[in-house]
């Protein structure tokens, strides 16, 4: 890894964390919710491809941790998405 790659990965990680924090603040914003969910999919695909396609990383605790965080976060957000949709439907019924 050269310095440019390290800084690019650092900026990508920072951007992902800002998006995730904004979603935590405004969790009812559907666009932000889907964007946050997409960041977890990107992280999962990135780490899986580094391990299984490019073979540039081994399945150590340093790689397993982000894989587990991304996987559990995707699962939790997909479950939470159902509640977000139910809440939106109940808000529409109240307006009508």
- pLDDT tens, 43-84? 999 999 999 999 999 999 999 999 999 999 999 999 999 988
Q: Which of 48, 51, 1 is nearest to 10 (CA)?
A: 1
Query: For the CA atoms of the chain, what is the radius of gyration?
Result: 17
Angle at 49 between CA 46 and CA 50, to 5 degrees: 85
Q: Which of 72, 85, 81 is nearest to 34 (CA)?
A: 81
Which pLDDT band holds residue 13 (cuts at 50, 70, 90)? very high
Q: Is the confidence at residue 96, as pLDDT, over 70?
A: no
Domain range summary for the chain, segments of one domain joined by +: 3-95
CB contact at 8 A, 26 and 70: no
Mean pLDDT score across all residues of the chain: 92
């Amino acid at each position: 890894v050269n310095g440019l790659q390290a800084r690019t990965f650092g900026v990508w990680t920072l951007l992902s964390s800002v998006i995730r924090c904004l979603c935590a603040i405004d969790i009812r914003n559907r666009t932000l919710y889907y964007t946050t969910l997409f960041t977890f999919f990107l992280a999962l695909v990135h780490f899986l491809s580094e391990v299984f396609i490019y073979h540039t990383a081994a399945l150590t605790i340093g790689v397993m941790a982000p894989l587990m965080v991304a996987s559990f976060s995707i699962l939790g957000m997909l479950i939470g998405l159902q509640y977000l949709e139910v809440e939106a439907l109940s808000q529409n019924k109240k307006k009508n």
